[in-house]
Amino acid sequence: MSTDSGTETVTRSRALLALSGAVVVALLVRLVDLGGRIFHWDEGRVGYWILRYHETGEFSYRPIIHGPFLPVVNDYLFAVLPATDFTARLPVALVGGLLPLSVWLFREHLRRDEMVALALFFAANPILVYYSRFMRNDVLVAAFSFVALGFVVRAYDTGRLAYLIPAGVSFATGSAAKENYVVYLACFLGAAFLVFDHRLLARTSAGESARDILFSELPASIRDRLRARGAGSLGYGGVRYAVGVLGGLLAFLAVFVFFYAPRPDLWNALGGSTAVLPVLRAGTVGAVSEMFGSWLGGSHQSHEYLPYLKDFLETFVYGAPVLIVFALVGIVVDRYGVVAGRVRWLVAFATYWGVVSIFGYPLATDIQAPWVVVHAIVPLAVPAAVGAAFVFRSGVQALDAKDTVGVGLAVLVLVASVGGVAAANVDYWNASTDEDKEVLQWAQPENDLKATLDDVERVSAANPGTDVLLYGTHPPDSDETHFYVSNESNPLGGPSWHSRLPLPWYFEGSGVERTSSAPDANVSEVTADAPPVVIAYEWDRTELESELDGYVARQHAFKLWSEDVVVFIDEDALAAANETRG
């Protein structure tokens, strides 16, 4: 082995060790106190239906709650672990925590310090950390799509088409997380075209013929790769490439069907008790038709663009300022060949992908939600890593040259960056107040409500009958109905089950028996024989307090702003429950 080869091996080993360290950090910041924040409205909605699936064994794809990854995976998880906030969020936390390891797939295209910087961005970016501690699909589809891209890149770098199989598995898993896997595919194809066009333009600007490149050099390069793959035979090489691509597609299809096929139909088909083709149709064409009908053919994108772009940029600036600055540095230094002496296609690819995501997602999303910023952070972390590594390397060079000013500037930038990321993560950790509204989504209850729900659970466990009355109401100056459901055994029978979220997740998991009153019901009649817990919106607090003698009232923010709930708990029932607990 040559000295250069040995040095390269040592350098790569150190880089892999550093990536492993980043994974440890990423997992720690995601798993510690993972259940500390109360469930968000959306977590409660999806979590409730996961519990129902776990109870009944019946599940089919419903586009409104996005892909089936979380229901399917958490159903298995709940078979071995209790269904808690921590457990429900665990799959997302693990995927987000392991994402830094995927950087190793791009080792032919990034310097070792750039790989480490990229892993650290994935490990510690405040937006990625916060939404890895959240039972939602965005981190999942971003991570799995990035990994799929990495395996495709490895297949290209090494010529080993077996890499296309894990690429297909990973991209299919991402597609099972959220429907915007289609957007990722479009971004990949568009960025690849722009990179190709950029390189073609650079060569034609230098005087080369576009015709020769496209119709002579490119076909010759493809033939050479096919012959190399086929041990000198063009035909055999073509067959091997076709088999490799087919293997990746079949892997994608198998995983896609596994997640999207309805339950228990899938198990019945595999067991031979029902026909296979209808299940395959439901898990492929049927699922894709539902997805397109709901998310592309529906009205989800019928909104003004500029307010959504403003909201996106606000979250981006508050949640990823360090990444933004270093990404701009990385784009500039790579654009002008400062690092590698040329524009690297991976950095350009990621830049195009990230910029399109910034301006595209405000158009594609259905609500103003900070979690969509994840889809711009992941690609722009690549040029940011280039920029951060460049600053670090400049500091080292300045130190070697005894350039005090250069060293001071580099240290100042890096220390400020680390401090900014750490401070933001501490601030957003389990945040649930409007002080962090730029990064949090509106439908987040405050954490104090969780302690009250723990008391409700204890009272419920000691109570033989109905445990909770949800007091039906109309919001001020509105004819909408909140809290009232005509049939508790069929929540979607309505009219207002969703106004309770995330309470159904906690009630279903704890076996809390609940009922509700119609908004036009007489308050005295409703409370005449009230259960030990009554939950109402804040605007009904005064009239209920006069009727619920012996109840303690606790008021909590039910959303980040403008919506509070009041939980009335019978003091005697609570004291008895606490005594039993003690």
* Three-class SS of 475-520: CCCCCCCECCECCCCCHHHCECHHHHCCHHHHHHHHCCCEEEECCC
Q: Is 355 exposed, middle or buried (0-12, 13-18, 19+ CB in 10 A)?
A: middle
Given this model, what pLDDT does residue 553 score?
96
Residue 274 banded pLDDT, cuts 50, 70, 90: confident
Buried b (16+ CB within 10 A) or exposed e, 467-484: bbbbbbbbeeeeeebbbb
Lowest model confidence (mean pLDDT) among 14-18, 339-343, 372-376, 399-403: 339-343
Given this model, what pLDDT does residue 507 score?
93
| Per-residue pLDDT at 469 exceeds 90 | yes
pLDDT of 521-543, one tens digit each?
Answer: 999 999 999 999 999 999 999 99
Residue 149 banded pLDDT, cuts 50, 70, 90: very high
Type of residue found at 65: I
Higher pLDDT, 103 or 408: 103
Report the C-alpha gap between 122 and 101 in whole angstroms: 9
Residue 1 banded pLDDT, cuts 50, 70, 90: very low
Given this model, what pLDDT does residue 493 score?
55
Give the percent of the chain with pLDDT over 90.
Answer: 61
Handedness of CA 115, 353, 173, 108 (dihedral sign): negative
Mean pLDDT of 30-40: 95
Lowest model confidence (mean pLDDT) among 181-195, 218-232, 438-452, 480-494: 218-232
Mean pLDDT of 360-374: 88
**Whether 233 contacts 227, CB under 8 Å:** yes
Report the C-alpha gap between 259 and 60 in whole angstroms: 10
Mean pLDDT of 22-38: 95
Instruction: Indicate the pTM of the whole model.
Output: 0.93
| Per-residue pLDDT at 15 exceeds 90 | no
Report the C-alpha gap between 130 and 364 in whole angstroms: 22
Mean pLDDT of 437-447: 91
Residue 4 banded pLDDT, cuts 50, 70, 90: low
Given this model, what pLDDT does residue 457 score?
94
Residue 581 banded pLDDT, cuts 50, 70, 90: low
Q: What integer best gives the mean pLDDT of the chain? A: 88
pLDDT of 284-327, one tens digit each?
Answer: 999 888 888 776 665 556 778 889 899 999 999 999 999 999 99
Mean pLDDT of 241-264: 93
Given this model, what pLDDT does residue 379 score?
97
- Indicate the domain borders of the chain: 12-417, 447-580
Higher pLDDT, 163 or 300: 163
Given this model, what pLDDT does residue 9 score?
61
Residue 336 banded pLDDT, cuts 50, 70, 90: confident
**Whether 410 contacts 528, CB under 8 Å:** no
